[in-house]
Structure 1
Amino acid sequence: MIPLRSPNPSRDFHMLPRFKAAAVHAAPVFLDSQATTEKAISIMREAARAGAELIAFPETYIPAFPVWAALWPPIDNHDLFVRMAEQSVLVDGPEVARVCAEARALGVTVSIGISERSAVSVGGLWNANLLIGETGEILVHHRKLVPTFYEKLVWSSGDGAGLVVAQTRQGRIGGLICGENTNPLARFALMAQGEQVHISSWPPMWPTRRPVGGGNFDNVAANRIRASAHCFEAKVFGIVTAGYMDEPMRAFLIERDRAIADVIDRTPRAASFFVDPTGVVFGDELQDQEGIAYAEIDLNRCVEPKQFHDVVGYYNRFDIFGVTVDRSRLTPARFRDEQQPGAEAQAILSVDADAGSNGQRIG
């Protein structure tokens, strides 16, 4: 007997994930990594209670975004750099471990920005982002390729090791930090791995000029352009998560120098929102208040637009264009020991044997 075709053709096909996502629009406890970690865990619990399965935090949420690098010359910011270095975190440190454990306990996937401290340099920092799976495992550890503008006074350049798209229960997730979303090759590197959800993380504000004369960078408009362009080109969903400047952060900066109050108050605040595979903004949007934005994401909506432009499929000419991505993790040095494994232990035994009856080690 010939089986009857299902009256609903969609049931004949594999259905892609549907889930609720959260974009965290929140301030850190400014330059306090432990307190900010506790706040992050509280936000994760709130988002999970609301049904979110994917929770995205802003750029360098732990311990803060160094907006002071835009406000004063570096000769005036030495103490702030020292404090930033003190409060930056190691990827294998206790703060990240807490977030990983909470992701596992809640059964959620978490993207979080950190200022990462180097294990071999007391002043070496990276602008980094971690994608943590529902088992608590770090799926992607990305360091921002190039710090933008005044960020170069704080962070080192990253590498390609984090240009990875991770397979999760919520689909194939990739992400870039702030200005990286202006880099078409970085974006294409994620598209070429089958990205379905793109997380872009941003600071709470981006001062570029004094208010006199106008012309300050409008990061809300710019971020919408970049997010919409990527989602339209890649046919993916976008989660745009931006930091928030609360009153304690504002007060900290203004008490240091009241002359910059006008710059802070007249610089546009960033927004957190969602973009669909056609480039249209949907779901919740937050800008002038702290909170969590939510959206329902259905990855099945990524399929139809691929008919029009599939830049990693038929809508490209790979015989003309070639892209190579080096995903090596950069390190200060590579050490090659002369001894073979086990040779050191054998040498110690040999020295002990030569030391005489008193057992004293020679050398």
Structure 2
Amino acid sequence: MTVSYPRFKAAACHTSSVFLDAEKTAEKACDLIAEAAAAGAALVVFPESFLPGFPVWAALQAPIYNHAFFRALVAEAQKPSDGAIRTIRMAARRHGLYVSLGFTEGTDASVGCIWNSNLLIGPDGAILNHHRKLVPTFYEKLVWANGDARGLRVTATDLGRIGMLICGENTNPLARYALMAQGEQVHISTYPPIWPTRPPDEDGAYDLRRAIEIRAGAHAFEAKVFNIVASGFVDAAMREAMGSVGAASLEVMDKSPRGISMVLGPASQVVGEVLSEHEGILYADIDTALCVEPKQFHDVVGYYNRFDVFRLDVDRTAREPAYFSEDVAIAEGAEDGVFDAVGDLVFAGNGAR
């Protein structure tokens, strides 16, 4: 049997949301998907919390002043079958390509609990994987709930085996190893437009761009994968929407290091162009055959490990607020929720929505 190594063009969208407006952000996503498809892309990647925007206010002022922002974000939160996401899924099907979408996820079980989530959408519009960020980072804990490992998996596609992690998860060695151990070939990393931790003129302020470069390079090199990085972008409309945080906080926004979007190869080399200070789509040609040779040197899920010394167990149980007896017979034996191409839940396993 001859082994096939897919080759394709990837598109990373270094782009702004239509801040706190899920429907308009979805319309923008559809335009970008069409543009990427016309350029020959087979996979289009959007940033962290692209739909409907990253909650940067949590970094800029005390939580007692952020209730209105939180209500606005919750009002725009989406479930995978909701309208804004359905619009993007239909665009993926219309153009016949894969889409990775960062979004704030809501639930029928609560009017105020939300997650930082990511979907991998197939070229028929079906949801192939649904991941919730395991642990919100620093001030993000004021906004999003902890996720679970239901989506900590690699998806076999005709582009190769695709895994995805959100922002700070790319610093989690065990989460990354869990994807490596499933034969990951293409990794998707998504990030916010900025991530302030101190006034920029103070020593020790967080350099988001440098942090992304380190994380992305480390995973590409250790896993011997292509790493597609997509970060958000601060546009004038987002800055204007944040106007109520005050002049000092706006100055923090203006002076904080921006994120970076790029694609790295399995030797940690940059493939194609890099975007940071300007909005746009970057493209890179990916040849998964290039993942093979580096595995001769360090294959940490093969012969460059000691499985008699180290052991990793991953619990993929979906964490739900309650389990009801009449659902047990339906759920038994299923690991995943399966969605049809237009987004209706066909079968729910382990609490998938």
TM-score (norm 2): 0.91
SS at match of 1:265: helix
Query: In the TM superposition, what are the counterparts of 1:274-353 in structure 2 within 5 Å?
Result: 274-337=263-326
Paired residues, number = 330
Question: For 1:164 and 1:92, how far apart are their aligned partners in 2?
Answer: 21
Aligned: 1:174 with 2:168:
no
In structure 2, relative to structure 1, the CA distance for the partners of 1:76 and 1:298 (3 Å cut) is: same
Query: CA-to-partner distance for each residue in 1:182-203, whole Å, 9 max, x for gaps?
Result: 0000000000000000000000
SS at match of 2:168: helix
Aligned: 1:273 with 2:262:
yes
Shift of 1:98: 1.3
Question: For 2:325 and 2:53, how far apart are their aligned partners in 1?
Answer: 38
Q: Is the 8 A contact 2:57 2:245 kept in 1?
A: no
Query: CA-to-partner distance for each residue in 1:28-64, whole Å, 9 max, x for gaps?
Result: 0000000000000110000000000010000010000
Aligned to 1:354: none
Query: In the TM superposition, what are the counterparts of 1:1-363 in structure 2 within 5 Å?
Result: 13-337=2-326
Aligned to 1:349: none
Report the AA paired with residue 67 of structure 2. H
Query: CA-to-partner distance for each residue in 1:110-143, whole Å, 9 max, x for gaps?
Result: 0000000011100010000000011111011000
Report the AA paired with residue 174 of structure 2. L
Question: For 2:13 and 2:56, how far apart are their aligned partners in 1?
Answer: 19
Shift of 1:258: 1.7
Question: For 2:244 and 2:296, how far apart are their aligned partners in 1?
Answer: 55
Question: For 1:301 and 1:19, how far apart are their aligned partners in 2?
Answer: 13
Shift of 1:211: 2.6
Shift of 1:15: 3.7
Which structure 1 residue ranges, 5 or more long, are not aligned? 1-11, 342-363
In structure 2, relative to structure 1, the CA distance for the partners of 1:257 and 1:318 (3 Å cut) is: same
Report the AA paired with residue 154 of structure 2. V
Question: For 1:254 and 1:277, how far apart are their aligned partners in 2?
Answer: 42
Query: CA-to-partner distance for each residue in 1:139-169, whole Å, 9 max, x for gaps?
Result: 1100000000000000000000010100111
Question: For 1:340 and 1:170, how far apart are their aligned partners in 2?
Answer: 35
Shift of 1:19: 0.5
SS at match of 1:189: helix
Report the AA paired with residue 195 of structure 1. E
In structure 2, relative to structure 1, the CA distance for the partners of 1:172 and 1:338 (3 Å cut) is: closer
Question: For 1:150 and 1:116, how far apart are their aligned partners in 2?
Answer: 18
SS at match of 1:122: strand
Question: For 1:321 and 1:264, how far apart are their aligned partners in 2?
Answer: 43
Question: For 2:175 and 2:275, how far apart are their aligned partners in 1?
Answer: 27
Q: Is the 8 A contact 2:207 2:257 kept in 1?
A: yes
Q: Is the 8 A contact 2:120 2:128 kept in 1?
A: yes
In structure 2, relative to structure 1, the CA distance for the partners of 1:218 and 1:340 (3 Å cut) is: closer
SS at match of 1:286: coil
SS at match of 1:282: coil
Quick one: percent identity of the two aligned structures?
54
Question: For 1:126 and 1:235, how far apart are their aligned partners in 2?
Answer: 30
Shift of 1:260: 1.5
Query: CA-to-partner distance for each residue in 1:225-248, whole Å, 9 max, x for gaps?
Result: 111111101100000100000011
SS at match of 1:112: strand
Highest Rg: 1 or 2? 1
Q: Which has the higher contact order (CA 8 A, sep 6+)?
A: 2
Report the AA paired with residue 208 of structure 2. N
Question: For 1:245 and 1:339, how far apart are their aligned partners in 2?
Answer: 46
Root-mean-square deviation (Å): 1.6
Report the AA paired with residue 98 of structure 1. T
Question: For 1:73 and 1:214, how far apart are their aligned partners in 2?
Answer: 21
Comparing 209-218 with 12-21, which one deviates more in the overlay? 12-21
Which structure 2 residue ranges, 5 or more long, are not aligned? 331-353
Report the AA paired with residue 85 of structure 2. V
Question: For 1:36 and 1:214, how far apart are their aligned partners in 2?
Answer: 36
Q: Is the 8 A contact 2:199 2:205 kept in 1?
A: yes
